[in-house]
Amino acid sequence: MRFASLGSGSGGNGLVIEAGATRVLMDCGFGLADSQARLARLGLQASDLAGIVVTHEHSDHIGGVGRLARKHKLPVWLTAGTLVMAQDLDGVAVQVIDSHAAFAVDGLEIQPFPVPHDAREPVQYVFGDGNRRLGVLTDTGSDTLHIEAMLAGVDALVLECNHDAAMLENGPYPASLKRRVGGRFGHLENGQSAALLDKLKHDKLQCVMAAHVSHKNNTAALAQRALARVLNCADDDVRVACQTAGFNWITL
């Protein structure tokens, strides 16, 4: 099992998960040509995908889903709430999922779980191949006991480190946007992410990736430092998914 990022941040998100011959894209917030170019960087074509799973309706996650899915005849999985709010899915083979029920795409088991975020019915996912499990948590404003239960025991974790509290407070956003980003239905702050990671830390955890790092209200170095303190490792040992290049394949 392996995974790689097309890019992560407010400018667009996409994560490819592969188990055997099965490859699924989680979210697509890029234009059609850009999505295809980012897939090519990973040695893939869109036709190599079994489909796209969507977390929620915000444009940096769903903006490119319709065009990619239509052109390459890819099925799309999403919650009923996300479907109500989604645009540009005409002509797409949509499959509505239960936010608490696992489903399979060929050799990949996918477990959605609900998260507190300012969208209609947002979810995040745990992906497994029967031996290894990858947990993904971005676009959530706060931790919950259910999130902790769903991510317990994962072998790898893609974890949001969206903002630094001081940078957000002193940054350029208007007060209303600062409240939204920093609120319980917004995005995780470095300290919140580190506190959650501390609860999830265990011997089998092979890789932790900081993701959805704001370019205005955070830095990669601050995110790395927060997570490295929990993992008792050097800051540079914590990887960061960037907006332009994402990250290359990581094998579990």
Asked if residue 14 lies in contact with residue 23, where contact means CB atoms within 8 angstroms, the answer is no
Residue 81 has a pLDDT of 98
Q: How many domains does the chain have?
A: 1
* DSSP, residue by residue, the chain: -EEEEEE-STT--EEEEEETTEEEEE---S-HHHHHHHHHHTT--GGG--EEE---S-HHHHTTHHHHHHHHT--EEEEHHHHHH--S-TT--EEEE-TT--EEETTEEEEEEE---SSSS-EEEEEE-SS-EEEEE-S-SS--HHHHHHHTT-SEEEEE--B-HHHHHHSSS-HHHHHHHHSTTS--BHHHHHHHHHHH--TT--EEEEES--TTT--HHHHHHHHHHHHTS-GGGSEE-BTTTBEEEEE-
Q: Around Cβ 180, how many Cβ atoms within 10 Å?
A: 15
Residue 213 has a pLDDT of 98
d(CA 10, CA 27): 13
- Residues in the chain with pLDDT < 50? none
Residue 218 has a pLDDT of 97
CATH number at residue 84: 3.60.15.10
In a domain, 64, yes or no: yes
Pick the closest to residue 33 from 83, 71, 73, 90 (CA basis).
71
Residue 17 has a pLDDT of 98
CA dihedral (29, 4, 239, 62) in degrees, to 10, reads: 20
Residue type, 131: N
Domain that holds residue 177: 2-246
Residue 205 has a pLDDT of 95
In a domain, 251, yes or no: no
Pick the closest to residue 14 from 244, 193, 221, 251 (CA basis).
244
Residue 121 has a pLDDT of 98
In a domain, 116, yes or no: yes
In a domain, 252, yes or no: no
d(CA 69, CA 35): 11
In a domain, 159, yes or no: yes
In a domain, 234, yes or no: yes
Residue 170 has a pLDDT of 96
Compute CA distances 27 → 50, 61, 227, 236, 251, whole Å: 13, 5, 25, 27, 20
Residue 80 has a pLDDT of 98
Residue 64 has a pLDDT of 98
* DSSP, residue by residue, 142-201: S--HHHHHHHTT-SEEEEE--B-HHHHHHSSS-HHHHHHHHSTTS--BHHHHHHHHHHH-
Residue 117 has a pLDDT of 98
In a domain, 134, yes or no: yes
Residue 47 has a pLDDT of 97
Residue 175 has a pLDDT of 97
Residue 184 has a pLDDT of 96
Residue 143 has a pLDDT of 97
In a domain, 162, yes or no: yes
